[in-house]
Amino acid sequence: MTIRPDAPDTSSEAAPGAAELAALRRRVSTVLTAGQILGGLGVASGIALAAVLAQEVSGTEALSGLAPTATVVGTAALSVPLAALMTARGRRAGLVLAYLIGALGAGVVVLAAVLGSFPLLLLGMAGFGAGSLATLQARFAATDLAEPDKRARAISTVVWATTVGAVLGPNIASPAGRSVAGLGIPVAAGPFVWAGAVFLLAALLTFALLRPDPLLTARALAGEPHSPGGHSLRAGAQAVRNSPMARLALVTIAVSHTAMVSIMSMTPVALSHHGAGIELIGLVISGHIAGMYAFSPVMGWLADRVGRLSVIGLAVALLAVAAALAGTAGPSHGRTALGLFALGLGWSAALVAGSALLTESVPQPARAAVQGLSDLTMNAAAGVGGAAAGLVVAKAGYGWLNALGAMLLLPLAVLAVRRATADR
């Protein structure tokens, strides 16, 4: 059976020949990269003014942080059901639905802003989190057909594409706000109008071009039949329990993401306490984002060249250095900026190496379920960490927050050393 680009998704795909496979790999990478740029643009443009919009709708600054938190909760809550859909119907179905839910969430946010309903705003932000989930799951989709010795580089290419949207997104917030002037829509809700449109475009692109489905094709290449029970959270958890390397990978992703979100979320507050203005805070966060995404190809190359465990070790070292720099910076804005840049680099190393290790450490039929479990775990942990970070800074200070972030790395370091030793 010849694979046709317009073939409908089924529970299986015919295995392509060598020439077809090479062309399919390039096609999948191109489509995922384009979708990642659009998805990242939509997420970043909306998140840029989420807290501002929440303050306007709720009427109090105390509730402004609940808007981005609702996005993280939505991302976590949708991880498992969308992973189940991908296991049953392929990456294309899951990614398209994620983008559509994200677009619907953006629309609900705009409606909530017009009506002045804070509960409705939080509901919309939770749905908006599906757009973020699509960008996370795209990195796993890049591994489906990648050659084993290039798997980390395939992940890093998709992660790198997020840089474009992450940089452009906040910069279009202002024109997006102006574009809704006179329409009865609050200016702070304008970016969500644009974000919804961008998500719809990403959904259309994925639906039209991500054919044949990479996950279903990978299943056909592996010669493994579809397992009806393999899409459950229980199946994913069992696969992780059965693999020490998968456990290490899951802990790596969750711990690094929690440490990064906790420290990063409170850095603007710490900077402002030491006299930094909005422009300087923006530069520091931009440097952090550059560390997260722009150098991911380097991390992918290293993970494929020197091994996943070595790059996980590098991630732990970078995150520890970041916590030390930022936590002891005090009024030194340059030291804080350097710490946040290192924080982004450490997160990038952990995400790329951890995602590659997780994918190759479990059986092919269970991969989508395990990947969904990974996104659930990382976002749930980061949600708790982000909420706790404000309390820690209020009670003990920014330095102690960084110290606690460094302490989170200790069990990860022990686990990584144990696995490296066991493999010798």
CATH tag for 13-226 (out of 1.20.1250.20, 1.10.10.60, 3.40.50.300, 3.40.190.10): 1.20.1250.20
Q: How far apart are CA 103 and CA 137, in angstroms?
A: 17
In the Cβ-directed half-sphere of 84, how many Cα atoms lie within 13 Å?
A: 12
Q: With 70 as the cut, is the pLDDT of residue 417 above it? A: yes
Ordered alpha helix ranges (H), 182-277? 190-209, 214-222, 233-241, 244-273
Answer yes or no: is pLDDT of 308 > 60. Answer: yes
Angle at 253 between CA 251 and CA 254, to 5 degrees: 65
| Per-residue model confidence (pLDDT) at position 14 | 57
Domain 227-424 in the same topology as domain 13-226? yes
Provide mean pLDDT across the span 114-126: 93
**pLDDT digits over 106-118, tens only?**
999 999 999 999 9
Helix (H) or strand (E) holding 350: helix 333-360
Percent of the residues in the chain that have a pLDDT greater than 90, as a whole number = 48
Task: Report the alpha-carbon distance of residue 38 to residue 57 in Å, rounded.
Answer: 27
Average pLDDT over residues 353-374: 91
Question: Taking residues 236-246, what's their average pLDDT?
Answer: 93
Query: For residue 348, is pLDDT > 90?
Result: yes
Give tens-digit pLDDT for 28-82: 999 999 999 999 888 888 876 777 788 788 887 667 767 877 888 898 889 888 8
Please tell me the least confidently modeled range out of 219-228, 244-253, 285-294, 364-373: 219-228
pLDDT at 10: 43
> Is the separation of the CB atoms in 368 and 80 below 8 Å?
no
Query: Do 85 and 93 touch, CB atoms closer than 8 A?
Result: yes
**Residues 6 or more apart whose Cβ sits within 8 Å of residue 424:** none
Q: Which residue has the higher pLDDT, 227 or 153?
A: 153
**What does the domain layout of the chain look like in residue ranges?**
13-226, 227-424
pLDDT at 258: 93
Q: Has residue 225 got a pLDDT over 60?
A: no
Lowest mean pLDDT among 12-21, 253-262, 411-420: 12-21
Class for the domain spanning 227-424 = mainly alpha
